[in-house]
Structure 1
């Protein structure tokens, strides 16, 4: 008789043991990438906070290849020939180049020239523009809280006007019409002021009134700017300053003080 007893059956249960040890280093690479990215981000934030407006705009324009700096489609080879600075659809109305008037969505801001670009074009800072046309030696620019100031001034043996009169020389007409063509591409309001050097009106008899003479020269400049392409509606003010506010304060009679200031006003 067969026995059905299972008392002598032995059951063996095996456990799978996973030894402790190295689990891989992929997470370390990912974490290092994250830390590097965060460091770069905070460094960028610090640099932007420490930079001025002109520097930030220069960086933005460098990484925006669609910005037309010197479009020669108009047929000109330089700022004195044709419409050669900015494309016709570039219209800015503030110091950052952001268009404030009618614009198409998407790319109007990227295509707008800034005051800093106009300053670089007129100052001939690279030396190339100065060599191409020595008349730029009559022009100096600076950006202030008021806006971009473009100074057109006398140089030794190269006066802009014929003595203490309003008769301008051909070089002055060429300069101002060029400036009118350049600033006609942006939308900022414009102010014009005339300045004399001390003693300018004493060389003739009867001596003209210095306030009237400086104001008349500013009015002539306004007309030349309009002939160059500036819209008359953008003229904010035209003033004569006589011999007040000399650039060379230690020598008020210096010919450098005999100038016209054309100001591209900031839009607030």
Structure 2
């Protein structure tokens, strides 16, 4: 190093110490807090889903499918749509539902439901324990429809209710109907009786006589048998023949169980509707055989009857 005026320069070396930046040192805490918040929100959502009513869940689902539905339908919430025009009926209204939360009507419907459920339990007990009905437990089906409590007496391959193409009841069929008639007198609900056939065309008899006439005559034969057993004369509100239009076994139109007599203990709404010259709700197809009071069904082969 060059000397200046004979004096050597003094060089001072300073070492800078690099301090670790603390700018991102606490980021993991924020991420952890976000995770905990998300988990809390998730568990809150699960709790709400398990405690919410089915109608509310349906409303939430519909909202995400059509977000503007609430606005367009003027509802307060997604599960409470109302008519587009003031005074109109709810867009989701179905016949038989109480709109406007009428407490009196709700109580009537609830008492009616409880009465029919008690009758269902009584009938099932009779079928399983009563000496006349027990042998036919696999032929007597009891379930609910929109109209009320339905009792179906179906044919088996070797144990039909009627002879082929006839309207005269077998003796055991008459006994079954008699026991049911006495049980149904315990409630003041009216009943509807329907006759059904399989899809085999009616052969013989007068020209123009078909499964429609046969099913109607069989329904009337069932009504007369129940009257003879002591059923109240004004108990039956409707007697109809449906031929093969409402099969029990859709996969086999000629199956023996398609030939049956169905008795519906009408709920009060259906009863009032029929009395006002209305048309009752459609008879729904049986969705399954889980309401049988007897043993599981044995699938039968095809046989042309009726």
Measured against the shorter chain, the TM-score band is: 0.5 to 0.7
Structure 2: runs of 5+ lacking an equivalent: 1-50, 55-107, 270-306
Larger Rg: 2
Structure 2 counterparts to residues 1-268 of structure 1, below 5 A:
96-97=110-111, 114-124=115-125, 133-199=134-200, 201-202=202-203, 204=204, 208-268=209-269
Q: CA deviation at 1:200?
A: 5.5
Query: Given that residues 112 and 267 in structure 2 are in contact (C-alpha distance below 8 angstroms), is that contact kept between their aligned partners in structure 1?
Result: no
Distance 1:189 1:180 in 2: 12
What is the TM-score with the length of structure 2 in the denominator? 0.48
Question: What secondary structure sits across from 2:186 in the alignment?
Answer: coil
Q: Which moved more, 1:182-191 or 1:134-143?
A: 134-143
Q: Report how many aligned residue pairs link the two structures.
A: 165
Question: What secondary structure sits across from 1:233 in the alignment?
Answer: coil
Structure 1: runs of 5+ lacking an equivalent: 1-45, 51-93, 100-112
Distance 1:133 1:211 in 2: 31
Q: CA deviation at 1:230?
A: 1.9
Query: Given that residues 95 and 115 in structure 1 are in contact (C-alpha distance below 8 angstroms), is that contact kept between their aligned partners in structure 2?
Result: no
Distance 1:174 1:247 in 2: 23
Change (3 A) 1:134 1:200: farther
Question: What secondary structure sits across from 1:232 in the alignment?
Answer: coil
Distance 1:132 1:234 in 2: 22
Deviations 1:208-263 (A, max 9, x none): 42111100000111111222232121211111111111011111111111001111
Q: How much is the aligned-residue C-alpha RMSD, in angstroms?
A: 3.0
Distance 2:251 2:160 in 1: 21
